[in-house]
Amino acid sequence: MNAAPTGNPPTLQVMRYDARRGTLDVIVGERGGLPREVLARRAAEAMRARSFICHTVDDDALLGADEICFIPRADRCEIVSIHTNGWRRHHGDHRRSLVEILNDLAAAVARGTLSFLDDAELAAVSAEGREIFACTIEDTTSLAGARAAVAQVLENQQVGDDARRRLELCVSEATTNMLVHGGGGGTMRLRLVEGLLRAIVADRGPGLSFINWTDEAGGAKQPSMGYGYKIILDNLERVHLHTGDEGTTLILDRTI
Amino acid sequence: MLHTRVETGDTPVIHLEGEIDLDSVETFRWAVTDALRGATEAILDFSRVTFIDSSGTGLLVRLCLDSQAQGVQLRLRDIPPVVDDVFKMLKVRALVGEEAFVD
């Protein structure tokens, strides 16, 4: 792929191939890129092989992604790619590469840690269990309060120090991400769901993108190098993500 | 909330106390940048840091690499477990080099 950056940030695209219905639905981003029959055929191959398969795509006009990953999950296949829009890491840039980020996301889907939700799934998962705390996150001074709330809930539930620290860290990463990328604020809710603590972090921003890639070499304002999601995916049992034009919701689950 | 205090001298020591997150990265950046002015080496003391996330870690990595590129050594000492856990998750030692750590 040799295209120059377009000015638009790289974007995430997730599609879902349903083998029983033969449908291909867009879960995140926009349809486009490779023809439907090619995507369906590759998805069916991955499902037959019961194996997570990545294809390198070198025709920018077709897809705008360096890789596209096909991840079989029971009777469906998740198809995950990042449209790079020509952006790539260069010498001296210590951000994680977009391919690294994509592979981490795809691997998390493959091992069942990460699931992308459509609207109906978001409504169902968000309603499970019992709400025990809610707050708004309006600016960076709210971050410590969100962490303290998690700490208090976990202390009340007699959760050990290690699990408490990891959950506090993950909530901090999710709420920070919301402030940086989610239109400047949103809400954080905590729910108890059958032995799980579930944190629901929701914003009304423009949807998940890799906007920091339009900032040369990470730029002075790029604080996280794309590591926030890595921390979240490495420290939680399950993460649900819903993102679109009307905002992003990240749902974090950890057994307590 | 992050508090910083700088011991001046040939090798300035920047003492950090509190939480390093998105709310405090500018305080962190300012303290380090200011202490490094005119120095060839500086020490960051983490012993009183109670929290750090990827925002703080990302800035730290950038400060270390930028300093190294300018021939200035920024060394990190007294890393508490709560910080070291995050450094391990993000492979900070590999990014900035073992020599940046004062054991």
Q: Is A94 touching B (CB cutoff 8 A)? A: yes
Three-class secondary structure of residue B40 per DSSP: coil
- Contact criterion met (CB < 8 Å) for A230 and B95: no
Per cent of chain A over pLDDT 70 is: 80
pLDDT of residue A61: 53
ipTM beyond 0.85?
yes
**Residue at B103 is within a domain:** no
What share of chain B has pLDDT > 70, as a percent?
Answer: 100
| Residue B61 counted as domain residue | yes
Closest chain B residue to A217 measured between Cα atoms?
Answer: B62
What is the pLDDT, as a whole number, of residue A100?
79
Q: What is the Cα–Cα distance from A218 to A226, expressed in whole angstroms?
A: 10
Express each pLDDT in B82-97 by its tens digit. 999 999 999 999 999 9
DSSP string, chain A: --PPP-SSPPEEEEEEEETTTTEEEEEES---SS-HHHHHHHHHHHHHHTS-EEEE---TTTT-EEEEEEEEETTEEEEEEEE-TT----TT--SPPHHHHHHHHHHHHHTTSEEE--HHHHHHHHHSSEEEEEEEE-STTHHHHHHHHHHHHHHHTT--HHHHHHHHHHHHHHHHHHHHHSTT-EEEEEEEETTEEEEEEEE-SS--B-GGGGSGGGTTT--STT-HHHHHHHH-SEEEEEEETTEEEEEEEEE-
Range of the domain at B57: 2-98
Asked if residue B26 is part of any domain, the answer here is: yes
Using CA coordinates, name the residue in chain A closest to B57. Answer: A224
Q: What is the pTM of this model?
A: 0.85
Q: Does A179 touch chain B (CB under 8 A)?
A: yes
Does residue B31 lie in a domain region?
Answer: yes
Distance (Å) from the C-alpha of residue A150 to the closest C-alpha of chain B?
14
| Residue B18, pLDDT score | 97
pLDDT digits (tens, 9 = 90+) for B49-81: 999 999 999 999 999 999 999 999 999 999 999
pLDDT at A74 (0 to 100): 84
Q: Name the residue in chain A with its Cα closest to that of B60.
A: A223
CATH code assigned at B66: 3.30.750.24
Reported as a single tens digit per residue, the pLDDT across A12-36 is 889 999 989 989 999 998 766 678 8
> Could you tell me the end-to-end alpha-carbon distance of chain B, in angstroms, rounded to an integer?
26
Q: Nearest-CA distance from A205 to chain B in Å?
A: 18
- pLDDT of A5 reads 62
- pLDDT on residue A54: 84
* B51 close to A (CB below 8 A): yes
Go through the domains of chain A in sequence order and give each one's CATH number.
11-112 (3.30.450), 119-255 (3.30.565.10)
Task: Please list the ranges in chain A whose pLDDT falls under 50.
Answer: 1-3, 217-225
Answer yes or no: is pLDDT of B38 > 50.
yes
- Count structural domains, chain B: 1
Q: What is the pLDDT of residue A121?
A: 95
Of B22, B56, B89, the CB nearest to A140: B22
In this predicted structure, what is the pLDDT of residue A68?
87
